[in-house]
Amino acid sequence: MSYILMTYPLAMIARLGSGAPPVSVSAARMPPHQHGGRPLSAGAAHIFISYCMRKKVPTFLTEREIADVLRQPDRTTLLGKRDFAMLFLMTSTGLRRNELCQLRRGDLKTEDGKVWLYVWGKGGRQRKVPIAKIELLEALAQYWKKAGASSQPAAPMFTTIGRRGADDIRPISWRVVRDVVEKYTRLARIQKHIHPHSLRHSFITHALRRSGDLPAVQALAGHRSLSSTQGYLHTEDERMERAIRLMAS
C-alpha cells in the first residue's frame, strides 16, 4: 500500500473522476512514467490496490478462531497439556517455529516481578517477550509437572518421545509443531490453510489492532525492519482502500 501512495500521490488518485481515459490492468501496475503519468481510472486504481494488497496480506486466525483452537487439546493427557501450552505460547508471543523448538527452561526468567521469555531469533538476535498471562504460566507448569520434566535451565521447554520410547526424550521438532498446528485447526473446523507461521501472523495482527504501536510490536516480533511489521496492517489497508474508492465516486 505504501508503494501505491508513493508512486501515485493521493491527490492524483483523488482525481480518478477527472475524465482521464481508462488504463489497462497491466498499465495500472506500471509506474506513471511508463503510461504517460496520467491519473488512473477508478477501475484501474481499484485493481492496482487490490492486487498489491492480496500479495501482502498473510493468512491469520481471528481471536474467536484462536479460542476455538485452544479448546481442542485434551488437557487431561500429557500430549494434550503439551499441545495446549505450546499453542497458547505461540498465539500469545508470535514466536517463529524454529524459535519455539530452540526454547529452554532457562529462557523463562523473572525480573523485577515480571516474567520474560528470552528468544533467540533470526541472525542470532535475542529479544525478550513479556509473559503477562497467568493462564499461560499455569499451562506450562502443568505440562512440566505431568511430563516429569527436568527443571535444569538447559532442559528443552517442549519435548517429544523418540523411537526408543520413554528413554528417548528429545526437544520438539519443527515437524511435530507443524503437525500439532494442523491437527487442532482441523479439529476446530477452521476453513483456512493454517501453518505454524499463521499463528505468528495472528499474534502480530491482533497486537497491532489493539495497540497501534508499530515500534513496540516490531520489537515483540523481532522484525529487523519496521516495514515488515507494517505489512500486517490489514485493517488500515482496507480502510484506506475504501476511502480512496469513495473519493473516486
User: Could you give the residue numbers annotated as active site?
Assistant: 96, 122, 197, 200, 223, 232
Contact indicator for 38, 62 with CB cutoff of 8 Å: no
Q: Using DSSP, how many helices (H) and how many strands (E) does the chain show?
A: 13, 5
Looking at residue 57, what DSSP letter applies? P
d(CA 166, CA 116): 31
Residues contacting residue 130 through CB under 8 Å, at least 6 positions apart: 114, 115, 116, 117
Contact indicator for 94, 200 with CB cutoff of 8 Å: yes
**Beta strands 159-161; 169-171: pairing state:** antiparallel
* Torsion angle, alpha carbons of 158, 162, 166, 170, to 10: -30
C-alpha cell at 228: 515488515
